[in-house]
């Protein structure tokens, strides 16, 4: 945890001073997901790998910014799954981005090849919203907690996060420009329900989900199945399972909420087949997540 917190603080420092140092532009490379890499993505990746390796506690890490598994320390007891700078489109504007991670414990019997863990098997998951100095951490069966950075650069005063049951303040968060590309069931769900709630979208999962967790409601990134240009469909969704969707789903579950994919399967039960696997995501207050699942099932029936 010290390594992860150290990395987050270091990334935040670079981010806050990045515009003047020319670090907020594109790096001129394309990542494993076929997306443009920003200079800040690379800096955040290098910082995180450094801290995790130095800790000596991690056997392998999986990062959005590395196609291959990153070998760390043969003696390490943990796997760390991370996205060192999520929400890259906010980088040129200095707007919020996330550093998201999940942690699982390795098996100590025989050769270790079991890094592909379902979220249910994580011990902890967390997200830093950068550069706002907030850290949300969920520990297995021990709840979700939010910390704020103080003037001595320490994350302090944890507050337990529990999704509010009263729907009055609930918010919806999704990329509304994509709505006509969603499955018909979700399109009609949106039409029937969107006027009941406020709508917020920052474009960085950690920042958007940060609000969902505090105010209740739902963040969703549905599958894209009705794009006018079928080549642009994303039936598997956009977000990555191991270091994006499972992280917020674990945090959400520990705060009393839930998360499912397009077929209604709990995100935390999905057994990854590949470390960069994608998934559709519906995460937040149970009644909203459950009603989107019903809407999808009805439309398919
Ligand atoms: P990234 O990992 O390339 O930054 O993409 C992940 C981000 C999430 O943070 C955010 O929820 C989503 O992609 C936004 O996507 P879009 O711009 O399509 O709305
Ligand atoms: Mg990402």
DSSP string, 233-297: -BTT-SEEIIIIIHHHHHHHHHTT-EEE-TTS-BGGG---SSTT-EE-EEEE-HHHHHHHHHHHH
Cα 279 to the center of its chain, rounded Å: 11
Looking at the CA of 204, name the nearest ligand.
Answer: 1
Other C-beta atoms lying within 10 Å of the C-beta of residue 161: 22
pLDDT at 34: 67
Q: What gap in Å lies between CA 284 and CA 220, rounded to an integer?
A: 9
What kind of fold does domain 167-300 have according to CATH? D-Maltodextrin-Binding Protein; domain 2 (3.40.190)
- Residue whose C-alpha is closest to residue 61's, from 7, 109, 23: 7
pLDDT by residue (tens digit) across 28-75? 667 666 666 678 889 999 999 999 999 999 999 999 999 999 999 989
Q: How many CA atoms lie within 13 A of 106 on its CB side?
A: 20
Looking at the CA of 239, name the nearest ligand.
Answer: 1
DSSP alpha helix (H) spans, the chain: 2-21, 39-55, 184-193, 205-215, 246-254, 286-300
Burial 111-142 (b: 16+ CB within 10 A, else e): eeeebbbbbbbbbbbbbbbbbebbbbbbbbee
pLDDT at 110: 60
User: For residues 19 and 33, is the Cβ–Cβ distance under 8 A?
Assistant: no
Other C-beta atoms lying within 10 Å of the C-beta of residue 144: 25
| 3-class SS of residue 152 | coil
Q: Does ligand 1 come within 6 angstroms of the Cβ of 85?
A: no
pLDDT at 113: 62
Residues of the chain short of pLDDT 70, as ranges, are 27-29, 31-37, 109-113, 300-301
C-alpha Rg value of the chain to the nearest Å: 19
Q: Does ligand 1 come within 6 angstroms of the Cβ of 200?
A: no
Report the percent of the chain where pLDDT is more than 70: 93
Residue 125 pairs with which residues in a beta bridge?
A: 102, 138
For atom 2 of ligand 1, which residue has the closest CA?
86
Read off the tokens for 182: 């969603």
What kind of fold does domain 2-160 have according to CATH? Fructose-1,6-Bisphosphatase; Chain A, domain 1 (3.30.540)
Q: Does ligand 1 come within 6 angstroms of the Cβ of 175?
A: yes
Whole-number Å distance, alpha carbon 237 to ligand 2 midpoint, is 13
Counting from 1 in the atom list of ligand 1, the atom nearest the Cα of 86 is 4
pTM (predicted TM-score): 0.95
| 3-class SS of residue 138 | strand
For atom 5 of ligand 1, which residue has the closest CA?
87
Q: What gap in Å lies between CA 233 and CA 243, rounded to an integer?
A: 22
Whole-number Å distance, alpha carbon 95 to ligand 2 midpoint, is 15
Q: What gap in Å lies between CA 170 and CA 248, rounded to an integer?
A: 17
Q: What gap in Å lies between CA 46 and CA 232, rounded to an integer?
A: 31
Whole-number Å distance, alpha carbon 165 to ligand 2 midpoint, is 29
User: For residues 66 and 83, is the Cβ–Cβ distance under 8 A?
Assistant: no
Other C-beta atoms lying within 10 Å of the C-beta of residue 152: 6
Domain ranges within the chain, ordered by starting residue: 2-160, 167-300
pLDDT at 142: 97
């Amino acid at each position: 945890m010290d390594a992860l917190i150290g990395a987050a603080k270091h990334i935040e420092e670079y981010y806050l001073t990045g515009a003047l140092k020319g670090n907020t532009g594109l790096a001129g490379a394309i990542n494993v997901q076929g997306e443009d890499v920003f200079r800040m993505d690379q800096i955040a990746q290098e910082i995180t790998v450094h801290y995790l390796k130095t800790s000596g506690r991690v056997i392998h890490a999986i990062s959005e910014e590395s196609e291959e598994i990153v070998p760390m320390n043969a003696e390490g007891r943990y796997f760390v799954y991370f996205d060192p700078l999520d929400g890259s489109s906010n980088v040129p504007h200095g707007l919020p981005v996330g550093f998201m991670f999940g942690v699982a414990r390795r098996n100590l019997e025989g050769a270790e090849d079991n890094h592909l863990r379902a979220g249910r098997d994580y011990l902890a998951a967390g997200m830093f919203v950068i550069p706002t100095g907030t850290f949300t951490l969920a520990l297995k069966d021990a709840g979700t907690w939010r910390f704020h950075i103080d003037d001595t650069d320490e994350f302090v005063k944890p507050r337990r996060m529990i999704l509010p049951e009263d729907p009055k303040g609930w918010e919806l968060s999704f990329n509304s420009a994509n709505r006509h590309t969603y499955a018909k069931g979700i399109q009609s769900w949106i039409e029937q329900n969107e006027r009941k709630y406020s709508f917020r979208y920052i474009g960085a999962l950690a920042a958007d989900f940060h609000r969902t967790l505090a105010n209740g409601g739902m963040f969703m990134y549905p599958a894209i199945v009705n794009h006018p240009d079928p080549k642009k469909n994303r039936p598997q969704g956009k977000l990555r399972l191991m270091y994006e969707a499972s992280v917020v789903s674990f945090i959400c579950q520990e705060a009393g909420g839930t998360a499912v994919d397009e077929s209604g399967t709990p995100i935390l039960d999905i057994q990854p087949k590949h470390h960069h696997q994608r998934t559709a995501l519906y995460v937040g207050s149970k009644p909203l997540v459950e009603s989107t699942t019903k809407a999808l099932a009805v439309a398919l029936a």
